[in-house]
Amino acid sequence: MKYLVIDVGGSAIKYALMDKQAVIQESGQVTTPSDNFDSFRAEIVGLYQHYRDQIAGIAFSMPGVIDSEQGRSITGGSLAYNDNRDFVADIKAVCPVPVTIENDAKCAVLAEAWKGSLAGCNNGVVVVLGTGVGGGIFLNGQLYKGSHFASGELSFLLTDSWHCKGDPYHYWGHDGGVRGLCRAVEHIKRLPPKSINGKQVFEWANEGDSEVCEALDAYTYRLAMQFFNLQSLFDPDVIAVGGGISAQPLLFQYIEQNMAYLEEHLPMHLTIPKVVRCHFMNEANLVGALQHHLQMTETPVP
């Protein structure tokens, strides 16, 4: 039994033909249409037609707030044409197989809980450091979705406790994502805005550039504070960090240093977060979407 698993992103639609154990048989990607839902659906129909004789269903990982139980995309993230859409019904009308959808960050949590860094954990948190900060919560052995399917939207956490009315707001997604780290490096090195990316930052940091290391230290200090907050809120066994920069050992070296600093200097005794790297990288959303599909349509594979 095989499944067509689709990870919808703002710029690319990644797809894979997978078996029940999440082994990828084939994979590829197409450009995400930006104009309207009809163009988007046409791309999906093309993939379905190619694999229709091999698959028992289609599993989607999607941006935005997703009502995965009713099959609705409440918001579409950067794809506004998916706002307030009966997504599953619209896709099943042209692809007559079982179809499921789940939020992309929640798919990453399901992947890590099934076969990754949260496997065997009863409680865990996933933090994905991308353009913003994605994530999800795994509580009492289950993905926690919240009353409005919006739990784990870590980018929207307000980070300025001393904010005054009328001042600009600071969000974790703005300051804590990779773009926030790049802005700090651009500022300290007097570079034009949006002139560097995370890869360049870590090339400099690994070479020992003192200014970049200073910015990385400040960035990971703020990360460490948020990890302590997450530990206090959810008391997880593990906090798993994903995203492209999580492949950098130096990131975790600085995180560990700053957590040790907080442990020493915070006036109260707290459980120290156990922070690990996510097991899955680019395939996390695909693996989690498959697990969600199996949970919704049949008994999941252990």
Q: What is the pLDDT of residue 239?
A: 97
Question: Where are the strands (E) in the chain, listed by range?
Answer: 2-8, 12-19, 24-31, 55-62, 66-67, 72-73, 99-103, 124-129, 133-139, 142-144, 238-242, 275-277
Q: Which amino acid is at 119?
A: A
Q: Which amino acid is at 147?
A: S
Show pLDDT as tens, one digit a residue, over the chain (302 residues): 899 999 998 889 999 999 999 999 999 999 999 999 999 999 999 999 999 999 999 999 999 999 999 999 999 988 999 999 999 999 999 999 999 999 999 999 999 999 999 999 999 999 999 888 988 999 999 999 999 998 988 988 999 888 899 999 999 988 899 999 999 999 999 999 999 999 999 999 999 999 999 999 999 999 999 999 999 999 999 999 998 899 999 999 999 999 999 999 999 888 999 999 999 988 999 999 999 999 999 755 55
The maximal CA–CA distance of the chain, rounded, in angstroms, is 62
Please list the residue range(s) of the chain that carry CATH number 3.30.420.40: 2-103+282-297, 117-277
Q: What is the pLDDT of residue 11?
A: 87
Q: What is the pLDDT of residue 1?
A: 86
Q: Which residues pair with 144 in a beta bridge?
A: 137
* Domain spanning 2-103+282-297: CATH superfamily: ATPase, nucleotide binding domain (3.30.420.40)
Q: What is the pLDDT of residue 298?
A: 77
pTM for the model stands at 0.90
C-alpha span between 181 and 205 (Å, rounded): 12
Main-chain phi, psi angles of 248, to 5 degrees: -90, 110
Q: What is the pLDDT of residue 144?
A: 96
Task: Sort strands 55-62 and 99-103 into parallel, antiparallel or unpaired.
Answer: parallel
Main-chain phi, psi angles of 58, to 5 degrees: -125, 130
Q: Which residues pair with 16 in a beta bridge?
A: 5, 27
Burial 231-246 (b: 16+ CB within 10 A, else e): beebebebbbbbbbbb
CATH architecture assigned to 117-277: 2-Layer Sandwich (3.30)
Q: Which residues pair with 240 in a beta bridge?
A: 126, 276
Q: Which residues pair with 298 in a beta bridge?
A: none
Q: What is the pLDDT of residue 70?
A: 96
In degrees to the nearest 10, what's the CA dihedral of 64, 68, 73, 76?
A: 20
Q: What is the pLDDT of residue 188?
A: 95
